[in-house]
Amino acid sequence: MKDRGSPRDELTYRCKKLETQQNQAKELFKALFVSSPIGLYIVQDGKFKLVNPQFQKLSGYSEQELLGMDSLRLVLSDDTPKVRENAVKMLKGERYSPYEFRVVNKEGKTLWVMERVTSIYYKGRRAVLGNFMDITDLKRTEEALHETEERYKMLIQQSVEAIYMFDPETKQVLETNAAFLNLLGYQLYEVRKLSVYDFVAHDRDSIDANIKRILMHGAITLGERVWRRKDGTLVNVHLTASKIHQKGRDIVFAIARDITDNKRAEEALRESEERYYTLFRDSRDAIYITTRDGSLVDVNQAALDTFGYTRKEMIGMNIRMIYANPDEWLKFQEVIEDTSFLRDYEVRLRRKDGTEIDCLLTSSVRRASDGSILEYQGIIRDITKYKQAQRKLEQSMEKLRKAMGGTIQVIALTVETRDPYTAGHQRRVANLARAIATEMGLSEEQIDGIRMAGVVHDLGKISVPAEILSKPGELTEVEFRLIKSHPQVGYDILKEIDFPWPVAQIVLQHHERMDGSGYPRGLKGAEILLEARILGVADVVEAMASHRPYRPALGVDKALEEISKNRGILYDPEAVDACLRLFTQRGFRLEIENNGSNTV
């Protein structure tokens, strides 16, 4: 070791050495300060005293602009309190971690920075050495990740399908969404205690085997599975599952779709198809399906039995071949294409052996989504026997009608033989009443009923002594009461006969009047049958126009004057109007025999 001489020399040597080291330290600090990739600065008394090039670059300001600038000027106003608070902690010697805040550079762009500061002495006075790193890109990445996680959570929670995650080792459920809870009926706090064994309605070996498949293949479709709800009921789900890596471990992520309604719909469809097939197969009516051009696609056994063909012969045959008149098929096609549905269309069809049968055809069109016709479906009912029976019934009814008419005529003649002065009266009243009803537009059934009632309307006079009926003078009160009883007597005779019309009631009411002054019951207005009101007008007109023992014929003109004068009072106004039109406009005539001459 070199002798440094006296103590003075030793002190001088040590001072020079210390100065050299100090200069070296300054040079080293300066080199590190200038070349650091991190923004460095020194703040003293709240002002920038020294800034490195990286800080200048980050702030956008030059060194001259930064030196002497208030250090808080760069800080975003919202973050200024946080920065000031941390500065106070540092000056007090309190420990704190690096913190993040935002600064605004010279261009007005907001940047995120992470700052760390320490207390130093600069030029003999206390100062702050700070460094901060631009973490804007990192923050954007974190925000993007946060947004992605939020969207992921939202997607899971808002999904209509049940989503859940579980640990493949412990089988414990880790996370679920609302749809999962709703599907199985659990509360959120209960799910944390759930194991997949608790709700998957399969044996454990099957569950474990499927979990191994998921871990081996990464993602699989498990298809239809049965789950057990909290209340013990079962639900059908379609299940897909995959393996994901989360927080350093593999977990299973699964999605289940409730297919209970689908299963019910499938079952309902299957039952419907079975019912349709049973109906198609076992129906006693012929059922067919054709293409648009009429080619038979399918027929049931009843169709084969009805038309005498084999299935091989009918399938592919054009349906017009079974029409007795092929033009009828073209007419039918026009109607069905226009209406899409036709019920009970009567047509004659031909069997294989050539015999023709009467049928009722009901058909509908099946269309594609664009409205075009795909096929026709129809039901054919053989009504040949029904038509034959109907014709026989009509013949029998006609015979019965003639027999009934003959019987009524005999009854009418019986009455008229007792009263020669009113011979033909009932027939003429019946003819006039029928003409009035026709003029009023009544139905054929009503007209027939009026005619039949007219032929026998005075049947009750059979109970009146002949000398009273032919008495030329005025009737006593007792005799008149006997005459007035004839509607009731006629009703009592006819009421037990099962006419297709209310003949007995018409006979009973034909002397009732609109104002209630008639007999035998004093009925008014609409209380009197329309048929009886018409018959009453015809009876008055014929009686006044004809000869009677107690007076000569008054003539048609007087009769028409009577019903006109009492229109709406005694007689039905519509019946009166129709009767007047018959005589004044239609040329109707009453053929009345009077002493060998005809009087109108």
| Domain spans in the chain, listed from the N-terminal domain onward | 23-135, 159-263, 283-382, 405-599
- CATH (residue range 23-135): 3.30.450.20
CA 232 – CA 262 distance, rounded (Å): 21
CA 104 – CA 73 distance, rounded (Å): 9
Q: Answer whether 159-263 and 405-599 agree in fold.
A: no
CA 360 – CA 381 distance, rounded (Å): 5
pLDDT at 248: 83
CB-CB neighbours of 374 under 10 Å: 10
- Is the domain defined by 283-382 classed in CATH 3.30.450.20? yes
Average pLDDT over residues 331-358: 86
Beta bridge partners of 236: 226
The answer to whether 430 and 539 have CB atoms below 8 angstroms apart is: no
Element spanning 411, H or E: helix 384-418
Q: How much of the chain exceeds pLDDT 70, in percent?
A: 88
Average pLDDT over residues 288-311: 90
Which of 437 and 126 is assigned the larger pLDDT? 437
- Is the domain defined by 405-599 classed in CATH 3.40.50.10490? no
For residue 559, the Cα-to-chain-centroid distance in whole angstroms is 66
pLDDT at 487: 92
Average pLDDT over residues 13-39: 73
pLDDT at 598: 31
Average pLDDT over residues 307-319: 92
Average pLDDT over residues 1-7: 58
Using the predicted structure, report yes or no on whether residue 540 has a pLDDT greater than 90: yes
Q: pLDDT tier at 333 (50, 70, 90 boundaries)?
A: confident
For residue 56, the Cα-to-chain-centroid distance in whole angstroms is 73
Architecture of domain 159-263: 2-Layer Sandwich (3.30)
